[in-house]
Amino acid sequence: MDPAEHHSLENFIGKSLDFQDRDQASTSPTVESTKALALKYGLSEAQWDQLCREGDAHRTRGLTFFKAENWNEAIHEMEQAFVIAPYDSELRFALGKAYARRFLEREEESDRNIASKLLRRCIDEEPNHVEAIRELTGLQKKSSALSYRLIGLIILVLAAGIIGFIVSQLTANPNAIPPEEGPVETTLAEQPLSPEEAPPFSITEDTSGPMPLPVLFPSADPEDEFRFESRSSTFTRYGDKYGYELLGVIQPISVEIKVMTATVELLIENEITILKKDFEIHPSYRAGALPGDTIPFRLLIFESSTPPALTSARISLREFDRTPFTSNVEEGGIVPLKTTDIPLPPNFNLELRERNIQRVDGGIFDKGSAALKLNLTLKNTGDRQISALKLKVTILNKQGDELPLIHSSIARGLAQRPPGHFDAVHSIVPSVLAGELRSIQTTAYVPDASPEDIGDYQISLIEIE
């Protein structure tokens, strides 16, 4: 996607978020009004169709994670879908319910507030929305219970401390002899089975643990242009339901990959397909992947039906937009990584290089601000794989002073981290192995500034696993 197209997309999504921020809006967005808005702010019919497909993919993944009760990933996917489709009332309720369920688990006030906001909007639009009313009522009861429980815990801790002190004073005996140490007894249930005693492992058994499933990539696909690698392919039973997860990477060989989507088929005996699902490997809004890069991807399927006797999974390309590119990733200047506050753990090391940098205006919905768009190359130069990496970008002015940062209008209603923080490697995708390269992208916004005010930048380590 070129800068003009990306700018149009940002403008549209920024306006779309406005609808979500207006709790008392006189009119709710519709499919027609949202499309008209997209065309008004520069998207073409083809780009709108592509955006809808990407939104549908996020929606499907979000609802799949929701069924699996994976609230973090469900929220992550559904938020992206809801930005594109603010008119989707079913999605709004599912997102509110996911936040509510995560609040019940983590008891974080921010989750409760977002859930209440989304559920109340559902009730405003449909006063007889029984499920939304039930979820909102449950939230309110839980909040009240937490308040009473907190008071009870404080009283209990104080009482326990007083009683413990009295007992210790009454039973203290400085001449007491400690008991002899002896072997710790282990119950039969705690003793692990030896390999000889362990039951045989079969894909058709009713087990809840993940089981490896072979994955096939047809040789008819262009092997000279890229390499496909499956890092993990597992089938898991959940009683009368089942799930399939595929983690892998694509490594371009002789092309720049601009867009790649695929279809996965789950197969039973005689290669009979029982389920098909489309998914994105490299979406159009990402910068092109070059030879030397690794493109991570993750696919998750969750089905509420009887688990079949699967034999394998098969992947085939659905859309593949690429151009010839014979050289490897260009070596840009090294970007120093600040690790003064959080040092790198033993055997971890990495290198960041500049691939592309742009200093631009913030856009229509971020008027008066400036943005720094970064595309960096991450190389794992250590001995351990990097499974998660959080970084922070700091922007300096021409005099070397740090500039304040804000969230863009696209992320302002959804962001749950400070401005400038970003996931260079997300924990849900395949890890970056030793020696591998990966393209990372982020955009930082400076309020009340122009592109000419932006000088150098710094990257700091926040977290690494």
Question: Bigger pLDDT: 264 or 17?
Answer: 264
Which range has the worst mean pLDDT, 96-100, 115-119, 146-150, 299-303?
Answer: 146-150
Q: Say what the pLDDT of residue 201 is.
A: 33
**More confidently predicted of 405 and 126:** 405
Q: In which domain, by residue range, is 228 found? A: 211-324
Residue 439 lies in a domain: yes
For residue 117, pLDDT beyond 90? no
Does residue 181 fall inside a structural domain?
no
247 shares its domain with 281: yes
Count structural domains, the chain: 3
Instruction: Give residue 411's pLDDT.
Output: 57
Among 324, 355, 370, the domain boundary falls at: 324
Task: Report the CATH number at residue 443.
Answer: 2.60.40
Q: Which of 70-74, 241-245, 256-260 has the highest mean pLDDT?
A: 256-260
- 202 occurs within a structural domain: no
pTM higher than 0.75: no
Q: How does pLDDT run across 168-179, given as a tens digit for each residue?
A: 444 444 444 443
Domain co-membership, 447 together with 408: yes
Of the three residues 278, 302, 324, the one that is the final residue of a domain is 324
pLDDT band at 386 (very low <50, low <70, confident <90, very high): very high
Domain ends where: 275, 303, 324? Answer: 324
Q: Which distant-in-sequence residues (6+ apart) come within 8 Å of 79 by Cβ?
A: 95, 414
Co-location of 45 and 101 in the same domain: yes
